[in-house]
């Protein structure tokens, strides 16, 4: 069976034009935007690309971008799948807080750390399934269905932590948040592995095609024999699981479960990462690796602002300016202009 390559190549691209697919891919607006943001960071702070080896791990601003971007990247992986089905999951930030609260409270209560991690992942899965049931069985629109848990979830997390920051010194949880594997921060390794597994799963099996089919037209997909409800349940559960992983990371990072702030507004960053990555909010076409690139663009911008020395009043202005430019570059109109230029240039 050949693998589905729905999004790999614009439909209007002339056939026989695929002589350098890698070069083509690198010319995508997302990679250009990432390169531009990194370049600006380097201009603002010449030591940006310096990476040193310190205490058995890589150390530098570029590593910070990867490390700090990992939670949003992980959320974006799950969010991509949800958005590809024409849904959205607003609850992932709150699920992060719940997962962190559960893990921290369990280790503080004396449970083994491995069990606490499994429990947190299970809770994330259950939260995702809850969303999935609301969407499939009760037929509630995804934005409303997941809003329920977005609002209530943080309250649940606060109930678990009793309103305070639960601090711990458990080595396993701290390793998930701040440890390193072969010199790379653990969150980066987790995010990369998850991205690879998820991409292989959707692109080397028919799963990706089924998700796209449901996203384009759920009824048509069901008539074609796809079990759309089961697939949606699976996708929301996966997003919940991703949120729980991200929650464990941010909790381990600060060695405490901060139910008020963990994952706050990160659902919006995750949606933005997916959109920057080129996945349509109308469902269908999606790309998990490009969403991760989107998350990296957002984080490169955040880190750049931190090291640039701008006063904090400018943070959001700079961020929104850059995002507007990226989204304009990706708009269908800009794409068609670029396409014409490229064809002209290629033929000349």
Q: Under the criterion CB under 8 A, does residue 47 sit at the interface with another protein?
A: yes
Q: Under the criterion CB under 8 A, does residue 312 sit at the interface with another protein?
A: yes
Q: Reduce the secondary structure of 92-129 to three states and give it as a string.
A: HHHHHHHHHHHHHHHHHCCCCHHHHHHHHHHHHHHHHH
d(CA 52, CA 59): 5
Contact 252, 241 (CB under 8 A): no
Per-residue binding string, another protein, 270-309, x by CB under 8 A, is: --------------------------------xx--xx-x
d(CA 245, CA 74): 8
Among 14, 16, 313, 332, binds another protein (CB under 8 A): 313
Nearer to another protein, 16 or 309 (CB): 309
Q: Under the criterion CB under 8 A, does residue 165 sit at the interface with another protein?
A: yes
Closest approach of Cβ 257 to another protein, in Å? 10
Among 73, 145, 234, 262, binds another protein (CB under 8 A): 262
Query: C-alpha distances in angstroms, 14 versus 17, 81, 177, 293?
Result: 6, 29, 47, 27
Q: Under the criterion CB under 8 A, does residue 261 sit at the interface with another protein?
A: yes
Nearer to another protein, 100 or 215 (CB): 100
Among 4, 60, 179, 289, binds another protein (CB under 8 A): 60
Residue 225, helix vs strand vs coil: coil
Residues in a beta bridge with 54: 57
Strands 166-167 and 256-257: antiparallel
Helix axes 315-330, 266-276, angle to 10 degrees: 30
d(CA 255, CA 251): 6
How many residues in the shown chain lie near another protein by CB under 8 A?
Answer: 35
d(CA 9, CA 18): 9
Closest approach of Cβ 139 to another protein, in Å? 31
Nearer to another protein, 9 or 255 (CB): 255
Binding site for another protein (CB under 8 A): 45, 47, 54-55, 59-61, 64, 68, 158, 162-165, 167, 178, 250, 253-256, 258, 260-262, 264, 302-303, 306-307, 309, 311-313, 315
């Amino acid at each position: 069976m050949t693998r589905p390559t729905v999004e790999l190549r614009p439909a209007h691209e002339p056939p026989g034009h695929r002589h350098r697919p890698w070069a083509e891919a690198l010319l995508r607006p997302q990679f250009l935007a990432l390169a531009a943001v990194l370049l600006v960071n380097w201009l603002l702070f010449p030591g940006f690309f310096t990476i040193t080896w310190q205490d058995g791990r890589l150390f530098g601003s570029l590593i910070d971008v990867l490390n700090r971007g990992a939670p949003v990247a992980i959320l974006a992986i799950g969010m991509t799948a949800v958005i590809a089905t024409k849904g959205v999951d607003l609850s992932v930030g709150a699920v992060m807080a719940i997962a962190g609260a559960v893990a921290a409270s369990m280790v503080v209560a004396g449970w083994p750390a491995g069990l606490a991690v499994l429990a947190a992942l299970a809770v994330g899965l259950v939260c995702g399934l809850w969303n999935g049931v609301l969407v499939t069985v009760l037929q509630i629109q995804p934005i409303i269905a997941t809003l329920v848990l977005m609002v209530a979830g943080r309250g649940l997390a606060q109930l678990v932590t009793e309103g305070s920051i639960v601090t711990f010194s458990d080595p396993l949880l701290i390793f998930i948040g701040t440890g390193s594997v072969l010199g790379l921060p653990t969150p980066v390794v987790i995010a990369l592995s998850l991205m690879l597994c998820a991409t292989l799963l959707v692109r080397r099996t028919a799963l990706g095609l089924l998700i796209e089919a449901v996203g384009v037209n759920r009824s048509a997909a069901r008539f074609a024999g796809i079990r759309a409800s089961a697939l949606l349940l699976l996708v929301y559960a996966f997003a919940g699981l991703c949120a729980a992983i991200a929650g464990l990371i941010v909790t381990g990072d600060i060695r405490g479960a901060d139910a008020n702030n963990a994952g706050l507004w990160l659902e919006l960053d995750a949606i933005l990462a997916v959109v920057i990555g080129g996945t349509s909010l109308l469902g269908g076409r999606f790309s998990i690796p490009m969403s991760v690139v989107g998350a990296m663009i957002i984080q490169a911008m955040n880190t750049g602002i931190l090291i640039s020395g701008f006063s904090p009043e400018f943070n959001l202005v700079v961020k929104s300016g850059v995002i507007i430019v990226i989204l304009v570059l990706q708009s269908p109109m800009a794409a068609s202009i670029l396409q014409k230029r490229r064809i002209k240039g290629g033929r000349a």
